[in-house]
Copies of this chain bind each other. A is one copy, B any other.
Amino acid sequence: MNKKGVLIVISGFSGVGKGTVVKKLVEKHGYSLSVSATTRQPRPGEVDGKDYHFKSVAEFRNLIDYNGFIEWAQYVENYYGTPRQYVEEELEKGNNVILEIEVQGAMRIKEQYPDAVLIFLTAPNAQILKTRLEGRGTEDNKVIAKRLKRAYEETDDMQCYDYLVVNDDLDTCVEHVHAVILAEGFKTAENMEYISNMKEELSRIRKEITV
């Protein structure tokens, strides 16, 4: 069953641990991670090509003109985009590619790649999500309230996703996301070529037997 890779889009509530889940999926299961491009300034410690591909506004706009992104958006004054070439090359090689992206971007991906698998990461319940946001210790109540408001709004978008996976225990969550992606590859619709090969081969082989 040799075929193209699966495009996996991961979104989720702020504070749910998307970044850590994605990192583990790459480390443990060898997924290819798409690195976004941005025009915002690197923060201390951020590495070009690893955290983001840092671009000037002129470079970014040029890439937009040349269809270099499979989706892009502007937030406040900065551009963010998903480079097309890396994603398409990896899928062609048969590698599974992960994009960590927010809801609007995920919808644009699904329009262009109907076979993309959209996974929404969530917390066991709202109280736990709140506790995790508070636990960071870096945000004041105003920021937490804003994030919970956004989470509330995002519940309406959750039904556009193919799967919801709860991040309760990190390792379990990683295995659950991995299970979803494995299962996608076993869908019958993904294996029609295998079926026709099997049929042809069985037709030939059964005639070779001397009875």
Contact = CB atoms under 8 A, between A and B. Distances in A.
A209 B178 CA distance: 36
Contacts of A165: 186
Q: How large is the interface on A (under 10, 10 to 19, 20 to 34, 35 or more residues)?
A: 35 or more
A8 B122 CA distance: 26
B211 A187 contact: no
Contacts of A191: 164
Contacts of A206: 145, 148-149, 151-152
Contacts of A187: 162-163
A186 B164 contact: yes
As for how many copies of this chain the complex holds, the number is 2
A206 B15 CA distance: 15
Interface string A197-211: 111011111100111
A76 interface: no
Interface in A99-134: 120, 122, 125-127, 129-130
Given A180-B186, A186-B164, A188-B158, A141 B210 contact: yes
B199 A152 contact: yes
A142 interface: yes
A202 B164 contact: no
Contacts of A195: 155, 158-159, 164
Contacts of A126: 198, 201-202, 204-205
A85 to B, nearest CB: 30
